Amino acid sequence: MPFGSSKAAMMGAAGAGGGPKFSGGTETSSGGYTYVTYTSSGTVTCDTGGVVDLILVGAGGGVSWNTGYITQNGGGGGGGVISGAGVTIDEGTYSLTIGAGPTANGANKGGYSEITLTGESSSFTLRSGGGGHGAYGGWGACSSGTTGTQSDPSTSVYRSVWGAGGGGAVWYQGYCAGGGGGAGTLQTNGSWPIPAGGTWSTHASQAGSAANSWNNTGAGGGGADDTAGKGVPASSGNGGEGYTWLDGVMYGPGGPGANVSGRTWGSTTAKGGGWGGVAYSTTGCPAGDGVFIVRYE
């Protein structure tokens, strides 16, 4: 029978060793918590309902490039991030979409991640958009980055956030420079707050930075910039910081611009990270796919 008639009942069951419990992902333990991580689309199974912390991240954006002379591209934007703490989830099997980061050269944005869960016997949907792609720079080209992805919110989506914008590109030696892609927004529908309770993040995605005209291309915006100041804007071509979750890991960082030294947030190990900018014949550091994680004591 569905578990979730009341949060108090769940806490009592948890105290008796009955929950919560999730399966279908990769389970690890750290600091007194169990983490279950889902890195591909499929199903999430809540074997026993209970109170959990969770995070949903969209994929980072890509970049376009060629191997010719004076190719200077902006970094991709980080994927959007939604997180909640102390959320009540009912027993059940849930459909999960994990956004994929671009794997090839091209003007490709990151895919969005989405899950519909049930808490206190009422369902709710979360959607985290993908990052915008970094701009292309080359002979006669110095385009601007693009905004991230996110479908228009509907009555079925309780909370959604756009991915961050990509960085601008430059045409060699001061000829022209493109602007950054726009910031994303956090959106909720008229049914908010969700029936499952909890404390939810309030961050929105950052804009990508503009390029300057002397070979420093713009960086992708970070996937989250929350009211606690954990995110900072992309500046001087460095990728914008993403959101550091309860596990101490940063999610949704922006990719750095080409020809930029310093911190380089975008990497294959950064979930939701934007693709690093490309200089000349190099391919930078690829975008990260999205992820969904739940944790419980």
For the segment 128-166, what is each residue's pLDDT rounded down to a tens digit? Answer: 999 998 888 877 788 898 898 876 556 577 888 889 998
167: tokens are 């960085």
Q: How many CB atoms lie within 10 A of CB 230?
A: 17
Half-sphere exposure of 114 toward its Cβ, with a 13 Å CA cutoff? 17
What tokens does 288 get?
């990260």
Sequence-separated (6 or more) residues with CB below 8 Å from residue 103: 286
**Interval 181-212: pLDDT, tens:** 988 888 888 777 888 999 998 888 888 888 87
Rounded Cα gap, residues 160 and 114, in angstroms: 9
Pick the most confident of 80-84, 252-256, 273-277.
Answer: 80-84
What is the token pair recorded at 106?
A: 């091209």
- CA–CA dist 2, 44 (Å, integer): 15
Single-letter amino acid code for the residue at 8: A
Distance CA 124, CA 116 (A): 5
The pTM score is 0.86
pLDDT at 239: 77
Q: How far apart are CA 189 and CA 115, in angstroms?
A: 16
